[in-house]
């Protein structure tokens, strides 16, 4: 009986995001239909674009080579999304809303590119570890500012992280712009950083290192997800974090310092976001231009990833893979333009992502349609009991997320 | 009377939560103008049955008839349309809105003319209607105060008004007296009489048998989800009802030996504490609790008890004064320090402070001890220890309705309280601060908690009991301290009469101190 309720609970946790995604895809299908295309062949082409067809043994020859390349791109895109997703999810669990993953990612990237480029002849292992550690610590320090402000002064973390995002982006822009202190020493006129030396490149495990092959960054992401799970579910720190997230009053009553939990949690979030930057910079980017800084949305997408992943480690990994696949599958490079215009397709991705976020953060539609609680015998929440799902303020969440996605639409990425 | 169908009839209602059968083929009926009490142990299924009636849960099987006609109630809106109103065991409000706004929420009168098109709330009409209802039934409220600023008693009157505002003919009161002061309870009884006279039918849930005998016309008893039958008030006694509830004889008098107090454990000296609004709630309280005695703090609610308890247990830092436990100064040093010094705390608000509701029982039971082996080592939890410990405590304290992996919100109120008590007693404290430890508990559970507290005393621990029930205070305490306006104004032996206590509690001249 115990395992049954557990399975029921897990099933509910899994079903709602799944239904949400399906609904979003169906809605996206109608959009495709309105543009005068066939939704089935479009989704088929997108699927091929993600490289997931590589998993089918009957795909052979050049199709297989293309599929392998596309799948590498999907995983490369998913790598930092996993980490920024974890960053946001970790904060959610203590009841904080970390909109600052983007800023933490930015400062982490600056550190990674700086350390990766200033030591010309270091031992590669040492160099990589040093650059990763520097990025993670920088992200942690940046996030800790927001945690500290919330813990000590009471400044709401949504405000402080948004501000810190802009500060990070503009400081980094200043550093790399023409005449800036960290601007490239070899490309005098360009607003770019120095290029990382080979000893700091993450080893590529699949594909061509010169064509954005898949680096060991994916293992860093997965290891971080495992660490997330272990800290959250098996450590005293995670136990405190969850207690504070569910009920600060009860946590306080048990002698847990809520302020300390906020500060520590934010610092850990920053580690995840900083690692995300390290995997990108050391894995395939190797150089940062000021243009990248404002265009990058990895941190904001992390919010959507965390929401869809229900703030769990495994859910975040799955959601990041989905988002990474969508981005790759609809990219100009991967999508068969005879079937659907990739320009339109990337907008389609945004629509699907936006719908997913909206549906997940309201949660209602999937629940209504399935009538899930009754079917799984879970009942509605007890009268007077706010069933905490670990999401601090859903309205604010949805609003901020849509804002992030809108920003992306405007920039027409 | 007999040829008229009852206003409400529940037939063979069954409600399951997975494997738990909360209601098992329960029959229940209610006539116009009658008060029908629903009694039963914690977790017997009273609140669940009412939630089914109010459309919060859909029944697994069974039928509901209103005025003799079968009805479907899928949501509270359906219930309200059928004239059913409910005052929940735990209130549901929007705390920042005013009382009037909370009452009319969902059925707001709108202005006429342009205001109508815009859906502007007609405040005047709303207020008049609220005034009229509150005058008619003696439900005194301040229509413009914000919910978060008023007493629990007034919040409850707001709940009743909200139901009446929607023309409820059937009113469910789920443990309305558990949160009230003696004075407020008397007022509520008056309100019930007036509603009854107007033909409103009332379902009244309470664990206090005296109240039930005072107000009810008929009594139905639930035990483990089943109806044990319905009896008229005439002929029922507290003893007979208690026997129906728990299935055995209940000892109402607390059996205990003479106390043998030892050294002081808790010493509070000239303590001053301010409340959330910055007002001084405790104004120079001084008291001592010695090993092996139960000291009861008696007083009318809102005289600084809560703030005093929070200062002793480390939740709230006092502005001045001293708190010492076993000689160690823990003034303003926080909960953790207090816990280390041996302070355990049965919180009065188990939902907000006592429990992390979404946590499992194992996790909740670990809250005081998770930092040390065997529950954790070097910062890593030992989940097996959590589960084993929880299983032991759940059976030792007779927690019903779930196991180590059940989330705390799924337990009935009384069983949640047992979880809190189990955790605090298990921490082997030097001082046990029990703040309203039997609020919302059934007679059997009260007996159980009382004997646990006496056991703690006899084990040489100091017990500080804070209670609004003078019955409980007098039967458990070895010494009674009366708190009034933030000061300890009198001390009585347990033999003190109710009148003496009452006078001291309301600030009257103290004779025996
Ligand atoms: N949402 C739920 N999920 C699982 N079990 C539940 C749920 N709600 C109630 N139960 C179980 O149903 C049983 C009846 O609970 P209910 O709250 O109706 O008791 P009660 O008679 O009101 O008790 P109390 O006097 O303590 O308030 C309990 O065993 C409880 O654990
Ligand atoms: Mg109940």
Residue A174: predicted pLDDT: 96
Asked if A200 and A126 touch (Cβ cutoff 8 Å), the reply is no
Q: Is the CB of B48 under 6 A from ligand 1?
A: yes
Looking from the CA of residue B50, the nearest atom of ligand 1 is: 18
Residue B127: predicted pLDDT: 82
Q: Is the CB of B225 under 6 A from ligand 1?
A: no
Does residue A378 sit at the B interface (CB-CB below 8 Å)? yes
Tell me the residues of chain B between 51 and 80 that have a Cβ less than 8 Å away from chain A. 51, 56-58
- Measure CB to CB from residue A234 to each of B92, B352, B381 and give the nearest one: B381
- Contact state of A381 with B17 under an 8 Å Cβ cutoff: no
- Contact state of B353 with A378 under an 8 Å Cβ cutoff: no
Phi first, then psi, for residue B290 (nearest 5°) are -100, 165
**CA B466 to mean position of chain CA atoms:** 14
Does residue A127 sit at the B interface (CB-CB below 8 Å)? no
Q: Per DSSP, what are the bridge partners of residue B63?
A: B11
- Chain B residues with CB under 8 Å of A6 CB are 405
Residues 6+ apart with CB under 8 A from B407: B357, B358, B359, B360, B361
Measured in angstroms, how far is the CA atom of residue B143 from the centroid of ligand 2? 29
Average pLDDT of the residues in B68-89: 91
Compute how many other C-beta atoms are within 10 angstroms of the C-beta atom of residue A338.
8
Check whether B93 has a pLDDT greater than 90.
no
- Contact state of A377 with B89 under an 8 Å Cβ cutoff: no
- Contact state of B335 with A252 under an 8 Å Cβ cutoff: yes
Cα(A293)–Cα(A182) distance, integer angstroms: 14
Domain B8-246 in CATH: superfamily?
P-loop containing nucleotide triphosphate hydrolases (3.40.50.300)
CA distances to A160, A269, A294, B225, B366 from A140, in Å: 15, 7, 21, 53, 30
Check whether B202 has a pLDDT greater than 80.
yes
Residue A403: predicted pLDDT: 37
CA distances to A266, B217, B231 from B235, in Å: 65, 11, 9
Domain B264-342+429-505: top CATH class:
alpha beta
Nearest CA distance, B237 vs chain A (angstrom): 32
Looking from the CA of residue B417, the nearest atom of ligand 1 is: 26
Residue B112: predicted pLDDT: 54
Peptide bond into B374 cis (omega under 30): yes
Q: What is the pLDDT of residues B347-378, one digit of tens each?
A: 988 888 999 999 999 999 999 999 999 999 99
Residue B113: predicted pLDDT: 54
Does residue B391 sit at the A interface (CB-CB below 8 Å)? no
CA distances to B147, B325, B462 from B263, in Å: 45, 11, 10
Q: Per DSSP, what are the bridge partners of residue B218?
A: B36, B232
Looking from the CA of residue B57, the nearest atom of ligand 1 is: 1
Cα(A346)–Cα(A383) distance, integer angstroms: 44
Residue B55: predicted pLDDT: 92
- Contact state of A380 with B16 under an 8 Å Cβ cutoff: no
| Domain of residue A102, residue span | 2-410
Nearest CA-CA partner of A184 in A245, A118, A241, A231: A118
Cα(B450)–Cα(B119) distance, integer angstroms: 55
Nearest CA-CA partner of A319 in A14, A100, A101, A93: A14
Nearest CA-CA partner of B46 in B23, B62, B70, B12: B23
Q: Per DSSP, what are the bridge partners of residue B85?
A: B171
Residue A165: predicted pLDDT: 96
Continuous segment of H or E residues that includes residue A242: helix A236-246
Asked if B66 and B40 touch (Cβ cutoff 8 Å), the reply is no
Cα(A52)–Cα(A44) distance, integer angstroms: 11
Phi first, then psi, for residue B275 (nearest 5°) are -90, -170
Check whether B505 has a pLDDT greater than 80.
yes
- Chain A residues with CB under 8 Å of B59 CB are none
Residues 6+ apart with CB under 8 A from B480: B295, B296, B298, B473, B474, B491, B492, B493, B494, B496, B501
- Chain B residues with CB under 8 Å of A237 CB are 379
Q: What is the pLDDT of residues B102-142, one digit of tens each?
A: 888 766 555 555 545 555 566 677 788 888 888 888 888 88
- Contact state of A385 with B357 under an 8 Å Cβ cutoff: yes
Dig out the tokens for A239 from the structure: 């136990």
pTM of the model: 0.83
- Measure CB to CB from residue A246 to each of B347, B356, B380 and give the nearest one: B356
Cα(B156)–Cα(B176) distance, integer angstroms: 8
- Measure CB to CB from residue A384 to each of B90, B345, B376 and give the nearest one: B90
The strands making up B61-66's β-sheet, listed across from edge to edge, are B20-30, B8-17, B61-66, B69-71
Average pLDDT of the residues in B212-228: 94
Residue B19: predicted pLDDT: 85
Q: What is the pLDDT of residues B300-342, one digit of tens each?
A: 888 999 999 999 999 999 999 999 999 999 999 999 999 999 9
Lowest mean pLDDT among A390-404, B76-90, B431-445: A390-404
Average pLDDT of the residues in B192-197: 93
- Contact state of B335 with A388 under an 8 Å Cβ cutoff: no
Measured in angstroms, how far is the CA atom of residue B49 from the centroid of ligand 1? 9
- Contact state of A253 with B335 under an 8 Å Cβ cutoff: yes
Average pLDDT of the residues in B254-275: 91
Cα(A255)–Cα(B336) distance, integer angstroms: 5
pLDDT grade for B15, boundaries at 50, 70 and 90: very high
Q: Rg of the Cα trace of chain B?
A: 24
Residue B412: predicted pLDDT: 83
Per-residue DSSP letters for A167-198?
A: HHHHHHHHHHSTT-TTB-SSSTTSSBBPPPPG
Tell me the residues of chain B between 32 and 51 that have a Cβ less than 8 Å away from chain A. 47, 51
Residue B284: predicted pLDDT: 95
Number of domains in chain A: 1
Task: Break chain B into its structural domains and give their ranges.
Answer: 8-246, 264-342+429-505
Residue B393: predicted pLDDT: 96
- Chain A residues with CB under 8 Å of B371 CB are 236
Residue B249: predicted pLDDT: 80
Across the A:B interface, residue pairs with CB atoms under 8 Å apart total 109
> What average pLDDT does chain B have?
89
Continuous segment of H or E residues that includes residue A93: helix A61-94
- Per residue of chain A (413 residues), what is the pLDDT tens digit? 344 555 555 666 777 788 888 888 888 889 888 888 888 988 998 899 899 999 999 888 889 999 999 999 999 999 999 999 999 999 999 999 999 999 999 999 999 999 999 999 899 999 999 999 999 999 999 999 999 999 999 899 999 999 999 999 999 999 999 888 999 998 888 899 999 999 999 999 999 888 889 999 999 999 999 999 999 999 999 999 999 999 999 999 999 999 999 999 999 999 999 999 999 999 999 999 999 998 899 999 999 999 999 899 999 999 999 999 999 988 877 788 788 787 777 788 888 888 887 877 765 555 555 544 433 333 333 333 333 223 333 333 333 333 333 333 333 33
Average pLDDT of the residues in B154-178: 90
Q: Which ligand is nearest to the CA of B48?
A: 1
Cα(B47)–Cα(A323) distance, integer angstroms: 44
**Within this chain, domains B8-246 and B264-342+429-505 share the same CATH topology:** yes
Residues 6+ apart with CB under 8 A from A383: B47, B51, B56, B88, B89, B90, B92
Measured in angstroms, how far is the CA atom of residue A290 from the centroid of ligand 2? 61
Looking from the CA of residue B23, the nearest atom of ligand 1 is: 14
Check whether B391 has a pLDDT greater than 90.
yes
Looking from the CA of residue A381, the nearest atom of ligand 1 is: 1
Residue A247: predicted pLDDT: 93
Residue B334: predicted pLDDT: 93
Dig out the tokens for B25 from the structure: 């083929």
């Amino acid at each position: 009986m115990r395992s049954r309720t557990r399975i029921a609970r897990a099933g509910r946790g899994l079903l709602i995001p799944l239904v949400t995604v399906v609904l979003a895809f169906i809605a996206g299908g109608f959009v495709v239909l309105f543009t005068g295309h066939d939704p089935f062949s479009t989704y088929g082409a997108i699927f091929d674009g993600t490289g997931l067809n590589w998993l089918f043994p009957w795909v052979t020859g050049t199709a297989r080579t293309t599929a392998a390349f596309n799948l590498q791109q999907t995983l490369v895109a998913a790598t930092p999304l996993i980490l920024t997703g974890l960053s946001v999810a970790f904060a959610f669990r203590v009841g904080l809303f970390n909109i600052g993953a983007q800023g933490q990612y930015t400062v982490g990237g600056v550190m990674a590119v700086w350390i990766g480029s200033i030591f010309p002849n270091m031992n590669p292992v040492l160099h990589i570890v040093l650059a990763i550690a520097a990025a993670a610590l920088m992200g942690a320090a940046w996030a800790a500012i927001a945690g500290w402000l919330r813990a000590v002064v009471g400044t709401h973390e949504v405000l402080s992280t948004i501000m810190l995002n802009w500060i990070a982006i503009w400081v980094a822009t200043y550093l790399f712009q023409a005449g800036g202190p960290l601007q490239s020493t070899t490309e005098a006129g360009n607003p770019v950083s120095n290029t990382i030396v080979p000893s700091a490149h993450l080893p590529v495990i699949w594909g061509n290192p010169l064509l954005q092959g898949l680096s060991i960054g994916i293992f860093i992401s997965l290891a971080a997800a495992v660490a997330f799970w272990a800290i959250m579910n098996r450590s005293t720190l995670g136990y405190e974090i969850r207690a504070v997230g569910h009920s600060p009053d009860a946590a306080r009553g048990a002698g847990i310092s809520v302020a300390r939990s906020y500060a520590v949690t934010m610092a850990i979030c920053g580690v995840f976001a900083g690692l995300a930057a390290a995997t990108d910079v050391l894995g395939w980017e190797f150089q940062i231009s000021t243009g990248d800084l404002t265009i990058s949305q990895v941190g904001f997408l992390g919010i959507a990833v965390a929401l869809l992943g229900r703030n769990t480690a495994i859910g975040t990994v799955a959601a990041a893979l989905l988002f990474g696949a969508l981005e790759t599958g609809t990219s100009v490079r991967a999508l068969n333009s005879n079937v659907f215009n990739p320009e339109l397709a990337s907008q389609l991705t945004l629509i699907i992502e936006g719908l997913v976020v909206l549906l997940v953060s309201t949660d209602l539609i999937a629940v209504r349609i399935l009538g899930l609680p009754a079917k799984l015998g879970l009942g509605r929440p007890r009268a007077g009991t706010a069933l905490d799902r670990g999401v601090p303020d859903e309205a604010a969440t949805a609003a901020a997320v849509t804002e992030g996605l809108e920003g992306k639409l405007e920039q027409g990425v | 009377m007999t040829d008229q169908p009852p206003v409400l009839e529940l037939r063979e209602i069954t409600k399951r939560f997975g494997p738990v059968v909360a209601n098992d083929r329960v029959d229940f009926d209610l006539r116009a103008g009658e008060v029908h009490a629903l009694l039963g142990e914690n977790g017997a299924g009273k609140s669940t049955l009412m939630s089914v009636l109010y459309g919060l849960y859909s029944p697994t099987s069974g039928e509901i008839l209103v005025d003799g006609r079968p009805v479907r109630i899928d949501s509270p809106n359906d219930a309200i349309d059928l004239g059913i109103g409910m005052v929940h065991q735990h209130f549901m409000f929007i705390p920042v809105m005013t009382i009037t706004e909370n009452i009319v929420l969902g059925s707001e009168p709108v202005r006429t003319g342009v205001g109508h098109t815009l859906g502007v709330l007609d405040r005047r009409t709303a207020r008049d209607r609220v005034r009229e209802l509150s005058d008619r039934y003696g439900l005194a409220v301040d229509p413009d105060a914000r919910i978060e600023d008023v007493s629990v008693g007034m919040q409850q009157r707001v709940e009743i008004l909200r139901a009446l505002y929607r023309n409820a003919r059937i009113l469910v009161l789920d443990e309305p007296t558990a949160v009230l002061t003696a004075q407020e309870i008397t007022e509520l009884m008056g309100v019930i009489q007036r509603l009854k006279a107007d033909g409103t039918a009332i379902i009244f849930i309470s664990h206090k048998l005296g109240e039930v005998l005072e107000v009810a016309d008929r009594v139905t008893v639930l035990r483990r989800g089943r109806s044990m039958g319905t009896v008229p008030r005439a002929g029922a006694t507290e003893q007979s009802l208690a026997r129906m509830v728990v299935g055995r004889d209940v000892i109402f008098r607390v059996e205990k030996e003479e106390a043998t107090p030892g050294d002081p454990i808790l010493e509070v000296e000239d303590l001053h504490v301010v409340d959330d609004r910055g007002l001084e709630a405790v104004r120079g309280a001084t008291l001592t609790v010695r090993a092996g005695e139960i000291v009861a703090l008696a007083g009318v609610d809102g005289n600084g008890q809560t703030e005093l308890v929070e200062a002793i247990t480390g939740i709230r830092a006092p502005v001045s004064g001293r708190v010492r436990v076993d000689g160690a100064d823990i003034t303003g040093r926080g909960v953790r320090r207090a816990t280390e010094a041996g302070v355990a705390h049965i919180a009065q608000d188990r939902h907000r402070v006592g429990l992390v509701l979404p946590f499992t029982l194992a996790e909740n039971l670990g809250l005081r001890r998770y930092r040390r082996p065997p529950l954790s080592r070097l910062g890593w939890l030992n989940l097996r220890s959590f589960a084993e410990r929880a299983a032991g405590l759940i059976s030792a304290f007779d927690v019903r309705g779930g196991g180590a992996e059940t989330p705390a919100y799924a337990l009935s109120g009384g069983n949640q309280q047992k979880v809190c008590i189990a955790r605090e007693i298990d921490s082997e404290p030097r001082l046990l601060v029990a703040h309203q430890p039997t609020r919302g508990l059934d007679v059997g559970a009260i007996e159980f908690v009382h004997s646990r507290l006496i056991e703690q005393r006899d084990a040489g621990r100091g017990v500080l009991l804070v209670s609004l029930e003078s019955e409980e205070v007098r039967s458990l305490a070895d010494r009674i301290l009366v708190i009034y306006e933030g000061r300890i104004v009198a001390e009585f032996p347990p033999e003190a009469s109710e009148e003496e206590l009452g006078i001291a509690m309301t600030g009257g001249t103290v004779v025996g101190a």
